[in-house]
Copies of this chain bind each other. A is one copy, B any other.
Amino acid sequence: MSRITIHDVSRAAGVSIKTVSRVLNSEPNVRSETRARVLKLVEELNYHPSLSARSLAGRSSNLIGLIYQNPSANYVVDLQKGALERCHTRGYRLLVHPCEGTDLSSVRDLAGLVLESHLDGVVLAPPLSDSTEVLAELQKHRIRFVRIAPTVDLGAHSCVFMNDVAAAREMTEYLIALGHERIGFINGPPGHPVTEQRYLGYTLALRSHGLDVDPQLVDRGEFTFDSGLAAARRLLSRATRPTAVFASNDDMAAGTIMAAHEMGLTIPSRLSVAGFDDSYVAQVIWPRLTTVHQPTYEMAHQAADMLFRSLGDEAPPKSVEIPYRMVCRESTGPRPAN
């Protein structure tokens, strides 16, 4: 039982392989009668064109890459789903490529991956979307790419993003509106694109409401639960404890909630906690987390779409902003009377 090829179909239909090829690629200049006959045979013989042969012979491989380096499972899955959905409707296939480790070797591998697999283009998720090495490598090989949530070289390439500054600012202002004045902040790791932005939003909100940015109220984590737990423990043991903590992602917010539980601080009556991302954990922990919905799925979806458009020489917009959404749940409340 060997593979069914275009030759089998062409023989059965009594046409040349080129005609079958034309039908399969929806090219013009095929009589509708012939087209129908070929299509019927394709169905009957259960013929599936070889992608390898296609990408070898043609200009396109109908394969794009999704490149990320992110520890958060939910983020990754949303990314994949968004990109996959778009790939599916456009007849593309997706190769996922988690870049583990920050070493340079994986960066060099990247161009290799694209070349080996004949990728038509790649979608770059943060923090890789800001890596100058990665960008340089891709450009050197003239590889098309779309970046998700970059913070540097905005104008240079297509990208899709959300306004992290405005979102962080709005969340902080929400806490201020609830009466909080000592608002702690758990920052992300330095160097990560969104870290600066979310912190900036936090400080802008404070300043515009006449509040000082107290370094005693700012700590730092690695965007992981454990690091958030540790940072929150430090923050909540300070002499002047904050009445609200804004963690710059949900995992660290979950850590903060755990720390509060440990210390017997009821949420939100004695401590308000806000997160960022609206990941799965936000809906699952007690109390449910007030957070900013990051449109990861939509961004990946849009990024893939822009990539396809640029592959089709259909000059895509330089950048697309996807709106975020405040999600107010039960982890935040008015400042304690005290």
Contact = CB atoms under 8 A, between A and B. Distances in A.
Interface in A124-152: 141-142
Given A284-B251, A286-B261, A49 B96 contact: no
A15 interface: no
B283 A285 contact: no
A318 B188 CA distance: 47
Given A258-B286, A281-B284, A112 B76 contact: no
A52 interface: yes
A81 B100 CA distance: 10
A286 B285 contact: yes
Interface stretch (A114-122, A175-183, A198-206, A234-242): A114-122
B284 A286 contact: no
A48 interface: yes
Interface in A166-221: none
A116 B49 contact: yes
A68 to B, nearest CB: 11
Contact of A115 (B3, B78, B112): B3
A317 to B, nearest CB: 27
A173 to B, nearest CB: 27
Given A96-B96, A258-B284, A52 B48 contact: no
Contact of A283 (B61, B115, B225): B225
Interface string A79-120: 011001000000001111010000000000001100111100
Contacts of A80: 96, 98
A51 B286 contact: no
Contacts of A117: 51-52, 93
A21 interface: no
Contact of A281 (B1, B49, B280): B280
Contacts of A77: 73, 76-77
A53 interface: yes
Which of A50, A52, A78, A81 counts the most chain B CB atoms within 10 A?
A52
A321 B316 CA distance: 51
Nearest to A281: B284
Contacts of A225: 283-284
A271 interface: no
A254 interface: yes
Contacts of A55: 52
A284 B73 contact: no
A74 interface: yes
Interface of A: 1, 3, 46, 48-53, 55-56, 61, 73-74, 76-78, 80-81, 84, 93-96, 98, 111-112, 115-118, 141-142, 225, 251, 254-255, 257-258, 261, 280-281, 283-287
23 contacts: A1-B141, A46-B111, A48-B112, A50-B115, A50-B116, A51-B117, A51-B118, A52-B56, A52-B61, A52-B117, A52-B118, A53-B56, A56-B56, A73-B76, A73-B78, A76-B77, A93-B117, A251-B284, A254-B284, A257-B286, A280-B281, A284-B284, A286-B286
* Closest 7 A/B residue pairs (Cβ): A73-B77, A52-B52, A48-B115, A52-B56, A261-B286, A52-B55, A73-B73
